[in-house]
């Protein structure tokens, strides 16, 4: 059985206690590799090396940092096919989607490689009395913890700015999808990233992840994952005054007004509902439809979604792959049962799917559309994070906003209308960190990315990320 290894001080190492976890291929429901079940002793070792490496890395010229991060980007691009197949097998996502995510993973490194060269700080002149300038210095050794839904894409989205800003990093990918982080270790070695600058430690969240969060010498934590994990991490890190960036769950509304471009709204809603099996924090899982087009939109949506091919992620025709784990598969199915108990009418799907042959034991759920639920019931307010959407009619802009804002989450939203005034008003009134108007998942990496309410604290992206991974120090010189 293949073994994934930790990447510590530039070496590929087994966990110190030689304990291992099973890694599943969700499309077949079978174990296909082993991953380190690391603990605090592995973190201690990684930290010793990272602290030593920091003394050199923080003084490495911006151009040198740029060069090595850019080489990593180029190697990710050069290995796109191999990485995409590995991601697809590990996560269950269709391989065509994994290829796009590998492109984005390379972009993350390229974007922040250039940011390292462009980042600058402010100066404030006190009219002949004094000059202040701001030093933005790297923090030291920082921790990056990422989830299973967009494994390499979100892992690199954290690591790249942390390194660009001059920090050394201990990073932990999800134990459910460790493979591409492991392959990234090899890429970093090939790119010539100095030893100890990046350390990748695999294992369970409550064990090795917890060891990272509670270690006093890991000075900042950038976390993406579930809201309940985020709460736990905040409770440990806050008394230590660690810098924290938390990107958490979502229950995003997709508001379709009658005056929208119907075909574009429909096509994009199919994607925003079911891309990556609905396992994207930005997926629109509540589709709010203005009543005058409710029936037309509902029927067209059912027709489109019914044609989506569910199955083997490595089959190029597949639109919806496997659910990432048995535990998550059961969680999603339990929410479908809850929706029925809450009076929901299953318009499409609503069941697991049994594949043939080698994929017979894989975890698949039919794309599911549900209507007739109260807008504030549990199904409509809790995160399901699977191929399940609800549709809800509304009559006025104010009612659409009430429904959109009725959850504890506030990550993303999308609004479909050709009325400019309405678009601006609804965008201003909606409680989410990201609003897309007549589009979805259109990303400019310079923009602030993050959520409000229980969807998180802090922002990633562009200068926001560079600022998070540095400490600002004001230096005041009296003239």
Q: Is 89 in the site for ligand NAD (CB under 6 A)?
A: no
Spatial separation of the C-alpha atoms in residues 194 and 176, rounded to whole Å: 28
Which of 248, 266, 300, 333 lies at the binding interface for ligand NAD (CB under 6 A)? Answer: 248
Which of 196, 250, 344, 349 lies at the binding interface for ligand NAD (CB under 6 A)? Answer: 250
Smallest gap from residue 312 Cβ to ligand NAD (A) = 23
The answer to whether residue 51 is catalytic is: no
Which of 37, 42, 101, 247 lies at the binding interface for ligand NAD (CB under 6 A)? Answer: 247
| 3-class state of residue 383 by DSSP | coil
Site for ligand NAD in 343-372 (CB under 6 A): none
Which of 196, 284, 313, 456 lies at the binding interface for ligand NAD (CB under 6 A)? Answer: 456
Q: Is 46 in the site for ligand NAD (CB under 6 A)?
A: no
Spatial separation of the C-alpha atoms in residues 201 and 177, rounded to whole Å: 13
Q: One of 188, 260, 281, 283 is an active-site residue; which one?
A: 281
Spatial separation of the C-alpha atoms in residues 171 and 38, rounded to whole Å: 12
Instruction: Please report which helix (H) or strand (E) contains residue 81, including its range.
Output: helix 80-91
Residue 39 · residue 208 · CB < 8 Å: yes
Give the helix ranges, DSSP H, for 192-325: 210-214, 227-237, 262-274, 294-306
**Considering CB under 6 A, how many residues would be counted as binding ligand NAD?**
31
Site for ligand NAD in 404-443 (CB under 6 A): 411
Q: Is 213 in the site for ligand NAD (CB under 6 A)?
A: yes
Q: Is 229 in the site for ligand NAD (CB under 6 A)?
A: yes
Q: Is 232 in the site for ligand NAD (CB under 6 A)?
A: yes
Smallest gap from residue 451 Cβ to ligand NAD (A) = 6
Which residue's CB is nearer to ligand NAD, number 35 or number 154?
Answer: 154
Smallest gap from residue 272 Cβ to ligand NAD (A) = 14
Buried b (16+ CB within 10 A) or exposed e, 293-320: bbeebbebbbebbeebebbbbbeeebbb
Q: Is 226 in the site for ligand NAD (CB under 6 A)?
A: yes
Structure tokens at 325: 């784990």
Instruction: Please return the burial class of 210, using the count of CB atoms within 10 Å of its CB with bins 0-12, 13-18 and 19+.
Output: middle
Smallest gap from residue 147 Cβ to ligand NAD (A) = 3
Residue 247 · residue 281 · CB < 8 Å: yes
The answer to whether residue 281 is catalytic is: yes
Which residue's CB is nearer to ligand NAD, number 306 or number 442?
Answer: 442
Q: Is 156 in the site for ligand NAD (CB under 6 A)?
A: no
Point out which span in 41-49, 182-190, 226-234, 302-310 binds ligand NAD (CB under 6 A).
226-234
Which of 29, 205, 313, 458 lies at the binding interface for ligand NAD (CB under 6 A)? Answer: 205
Site for ligand NAD in 271-310 (CB under 6 A): 281
Smallest gap from residue 12 Cβ to ligand NAD (A) = 20
Residue 13 · residue 5 · CB < 8 Å: yes
- DSSP characters over 117-157: HH----EEE-TTSEEEEEEEEE-SEEEEE--SSSHHHHHHH
Q: Is 252 in the site for ligand NAD (CB under 6 A)?
A: no
Which residue's CB is nearer to ligand NAD, number 213 or number 391?
Answer: 213
- DSSP characters over 288-328: EEEGGGHHHHHHHHHHHHHT--BS-TTSTT-SB---S-HHH
Q: Is 210 in the site for ligand NAD (CB under 6 A)?
A: yes
Q: One of 101, 247, 290, 460 is an active-site residue; which one?
A: 247
Structure tokens at 99: 């290829």
CA distances to 179, 366, 406 from 119, rounded to whole Å, are 32, 46, 39
Smallest gap from residue 63 Cβ to ligand NAD (A) = 31
Residue 194 · residue 39 · CB < 8 Å: no
Spatial separation of the C-alpha atoms in residues 174 and 164, rounded to whole Å: 23
Which of 26, 147, 161, 313 lies at the binding interface for ligand NAD (CB under 6 A)? Answer: 147
Question: Which residues sit at the interface with ligand NAD, rule CB under 6 A?
Answer: 145-149, 154, 172, 174-175, 205-206, 209-210, 213, 224-226, 229, 232-233, 247-250, 281, 383, 385, 411, 451, 455-456
Active site residues per annotation: 247, 281
């Amino acid at each position: 059985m293949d073994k994934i290894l930790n990447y510590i001080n530039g070496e590929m190492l087994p966990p110190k206690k030689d304990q291992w976890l099973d890694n599943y291929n969700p499309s077949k429901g079978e174990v296909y590799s082993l991953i380190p079940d690391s603990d605090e002793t592995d973190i201690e070792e990684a930290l010793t090396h990272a602290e030593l490496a920091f003394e050199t890395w923080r003084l490495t010229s911006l151009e040198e940092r740029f060069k090595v991060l850019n080489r990593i980007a180029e190697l990710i691009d050069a290995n796109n096919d191999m990485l995409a197949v590995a991601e697809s097998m590990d996560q269950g996502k269709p391989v065509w989607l994994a290829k796009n995510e590998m492109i984005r993973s390379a972009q993350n490194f390229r974007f922040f490689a250039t940011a390292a060269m462009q980042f600058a700080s402010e100066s404030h002149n006190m009219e002949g009395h004094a000059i202040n300038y701001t030093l933005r210095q790297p923090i030291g050794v920082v921790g990056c913890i990422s989830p299973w839904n967009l494994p390499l894409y979100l892992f690199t989205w954290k690591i790249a700015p942390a390194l660009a800003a001059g920090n050394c990093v201990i990073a932990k990918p999800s134990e459910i999808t460790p493979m591409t982080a492991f392959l990234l270790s090899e890429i970093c070695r090939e790119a010539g990233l100095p030893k100890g600058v990046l350390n990748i430690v695999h294992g369970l969240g409550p064990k090795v992840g917890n060891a990272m969060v509670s270690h006093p010498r890991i000075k900042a934590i950038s976390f993406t994952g579930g809201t309940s994990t985020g709460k736990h991490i905040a409770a440990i890190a806050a008394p230590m005054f660690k810098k924290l960036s938390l990107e958490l769950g979502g229950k995003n509304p997709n508001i379709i007004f009658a005056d929208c471009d119907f075909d574009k709204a429909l096509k994009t809603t199919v994607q925003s509902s079911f891309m990556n099996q609905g396992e994207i924090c930005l997926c629109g899982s509540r589709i709010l439809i203005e009543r005058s087009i409710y029936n037309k939109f509902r029927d067209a949506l059912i027709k489109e979604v019914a044609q989506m091919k569910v199955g083997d992620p490595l089959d190029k025709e597949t639109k919806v792959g496997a659910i990432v784990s048995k535990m998550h598969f059961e969680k999603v199915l339990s929410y479908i049962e809850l929706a029925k108990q809450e009076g929901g009418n299953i318009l499409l799907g609503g069941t697991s799917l049994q594949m043939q042959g080698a994929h017979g034991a894989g975890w698949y759920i039919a794309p599911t559309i549900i209507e007739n639920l109260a807008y504030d019931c549990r199904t409509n307010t809790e995160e399901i994070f699977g191929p399940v959407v609800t549709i809800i009619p509304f009559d006025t802009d104010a009612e659409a906003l009430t429904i959109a804002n009725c959850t504890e989450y506030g990550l993303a939203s999308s609004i479909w209308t050709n009325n400019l005034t309405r678009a601006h008003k609804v965008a201003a009134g909606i409680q989410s960190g990201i609003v897309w108007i007549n589009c979805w998942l259109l990303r400019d990496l310079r923009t602030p990315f993050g959520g409000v309410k229980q969807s998180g604290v802090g922002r990633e992206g562009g200068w926001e990320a560079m600022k998070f991974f540095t400490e600002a120090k004001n230096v005041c010189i009296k003239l």
